[in-house]
Amino acid sequence: MTLIHRRRLRAAGARLLAALALGLGLVLVLGLAGSAQAAPVLIMGPGGHVTASQDPFVPAGVPTPAPNMTASEQATRAHVARAHAARARRPPKSLQKTVRSELSRLLKAHSITSGQYAADSGSFNAALSTERHLHGTPAAELEAVIENLHDIAAAGKLTVGRLPVLFETLNYNRQWWASGNVPSSGGYVEFTGSPLVWEYYPGQGIELQVLATFGKANGMWTAGPADYPQLEAILSQMIPLAVNRGGSLAWEYYFQFDGGQPPWTSAMSQGTAIEALTRGYLATKDSTYLQLAHDALALFTAPPPIGVRVATPLGARYVQYTFTPGTSIINAFLQSLIGLYTYAQVSDDPLAQQLYNAGNAEAQAELPHFDTGAWSLYQPGIEDTLSYHQLVTGFLQTLCQLTKVPVYCVTAQHFTAYLTTPPALSLLTQRARRNRSFNLLFSLSKYSHVGIVVIGPGGHTLFETSADFGYGEGSFAVPALRHKGTYTIHLAATDLAGNFNRIVATLQVS
């Protein structure tokens, strides 16, 4: 590295630090605007003893990828998916690649040492032995992890680069499920002696949560110099778990998720990794972190299913999941831009700037379509939960502070205001026929719990109920009203942030 380049790096780093001092301190971990509360975690210590604790570097309530299903539904779906996938993919046994056969192949090709072969074979045998002695959920979860490893081997994807992360996943799952402890769905898990964050996906076991782990690294940087050694430690454990994915350094996920088969990855987690590596450089001035961040950029140049880039007339969209290129999730897109921008500003890397510019042009065009005028959308037609609304608002605030791009700033202001704006209601059905049940239609500005009370001409309550509705039109099935006349309709709505509104209207029954 030349003296001029080192000076440019220092100057760029100083510019970013100045920007952070002006307001980015409110953005925690992934760039999240949110609570500074520590996330609850279960920590496994020596002897398999599990204790409940809190991780101060992972904010509570930070959303991580999870299907909108109950734990039992997730487990059932995962079991069915594994069975169908296994039947569809597996060749006759005589031709089938297995974990053992692939490890033997790598050993014979001198791709791994005899010590590595012995260690990984021993881990696999130990997991199989443990699974045979388990029952119920622990047995099913460990079996799922073993099955995913088998499927990766059968698909010819058990590469040398993936061995460290796959067998670390297997070893930690063997330890965890042997304890018999079943976390809550989506619960975070950690292990004494390691800063990595794992997450429980029912039906898929304990999986490395790449997004949360790199987010935790960012939290250590945000916390200040006293925690920089911990930042170095967590990066030192994550860097060896990266793989070569289509020529790019990448951190993958190794479990089945929403129809996607492992290994897959995400623009959001990759962008957060690049951001964390950049902060590793800012904390230590070790340019190795910047080189690693550069090596991770290629994922943003390749289309799915290898990379995350979907070309558009304006530039590019960076997708959340490599297995669903048609799905546009705005919060993931924005976070990937934050990671690219942060690295580009510090490194003066022209490729990073080019990738940011392409994504920025597309994001500016797409963003208004994710603003309903009352709430944010997670993806087209689907409203955000409260936590995701807060998440995307934080990302927009960060981009506004970093780039001063008007659409980011204006949309951030809108989304912030929506947190204190009551839902708007309007009664659409104004007439009904007596002695006939009917659907009473109403319009609603954002996802809310809506209640209805129907009061007859004599002042008596004749019908009342409540339900959850998304934005747009909703309806209640109202039983037949016997008498002609003017009925009073009370509609009340409480949105996800707790804002309340009520209207009173009339219904003519003839």
Share of the chain above pLDDT 70, in %: 86
* Residue 271, CB-side half-sphere exposure with 13 Å CA sphere: 33
Please tell me the predicted confidence (pLDDT) of residue 59. 72
- Whether pLDDT at 130 is above 70: yes
Q: What is the pLDDT of residues 288-318, one digit of tens each?
A: 999 999 999 999 999 999 999 999 999 999 9
Whether residue 199 contacts residue 159, with contact meaning beta carbons closer than 8 Å, is answered with no
- In terms of DSSP bridges, do strands 32-33 and 27-28 run parallel, antiparallel, or are they unpaired? antiparallel
- Provide the edge-to-edge strand list for the sheet that holds 50-59: 50-59, 38-44, 188-191, 198-201, 205-208
Nearest to 1 by CA among 343, 291, 354, 340: 291
Measured CA to CA, the distance from residue 288 to residue 278 in angstroms comes to 10
Q: What is the pLDDT of residues 134-149, one digit of tens each?
A: 999 999 999 999 999 9
Q: How many CB atoms lie within 10 A of CB 275?
A: 26
Whether residue 26 contacts residue 390, with contact meaning beta carbons closer than 8 Å, is answered with no
Q: What is the pLDDT of residues 209-252, one digit of tens each?
A: 999 999 999 999 999 999 999 999 999 999 999 999 999 999 99
Nearest to 204 by CA among 177, 168, 241: 177
Report the alpha-carbon angle 111-113-114, nearest 5.
130
Please tell me the predicted confidence (pLDDT) of residue 8. 40
Please tell me the predicted confidence (pLDDT) of residue 37. 67
Report the alpha-carbon angle 196-197-202, nearest 5.
140
Alpha helices (H) in 404-502, listed in sequence order? 406-418
- Whether pLDDT at 377 is above 90: yes
Please tell me the predicted confidence (pLDDT) of residue 200. 97
Domains in the chain, ordered, with CATH?
A: 3-30+223-417 (1.50.10.20), 425-509 (2.60.40.2550)
Please tell me the predicted confidence (pLDDT) of residue 81. 44
- Residues forming beta bridges with residue 249, ordered by sequence position: 244
Nearest to 320 by CA among 262, 266, 388, 248: 266
The mean pLDDT value for 495-508 works out to: 98
Which residues neighbour 413 within 8 Å (Cβ) at sequence distance 6 or greater?
A: none
Measured CA to CA, the distance from residue 39 to residue 445 in angstroms comes to 32
- Whether pLDDT at 374 is above 90: yes
Please tell me the predicted confidence (pLDDT) of residue 96. 85
The mean pLDDT value for 483-507 works out to: 98
Burial 429-454 (b: 16+ CB within 10 A, else e): beebeeeeebebebebbbbbebbbbb
Please tell me the predicted confidence (pLDDT) of residue 65. 53
Measured CA to CA, the distance from residue 394 to residue 336 in angstroms comes to 13
Q: What is the pLDDT of residues 93-106, one digit of tens each?
A: 556 899 999 999 99
Q: Dmax of the chain from CA atoms?
A: 89
The mean pLDDT value for 464-477 works out to: 98
Phi, psi of 303 (to 5 degrees): -80, 160
Q: pLDDT-derived band of residue 464, with 50, 70 and 90 as boundaries?
A: very high
Please tell me the predicted confidence (pLDDT) of residue 32. 41
- Whether pLDDT at 89 is above 80: no
What letter represents residue 42's amino acid? L
- Whether pLDDT at 21 is above 60: no
Alpha helices (H) in 239-329, listed in sequence order? 267-284, 288-295
Share of the chain above pLDDT 90, in %: 85
Which two tokens mark 276?
Answer: 């964390």
pTM for the whole thing?
0.87
Which two tokens mark 375?
Answer: 């709430």
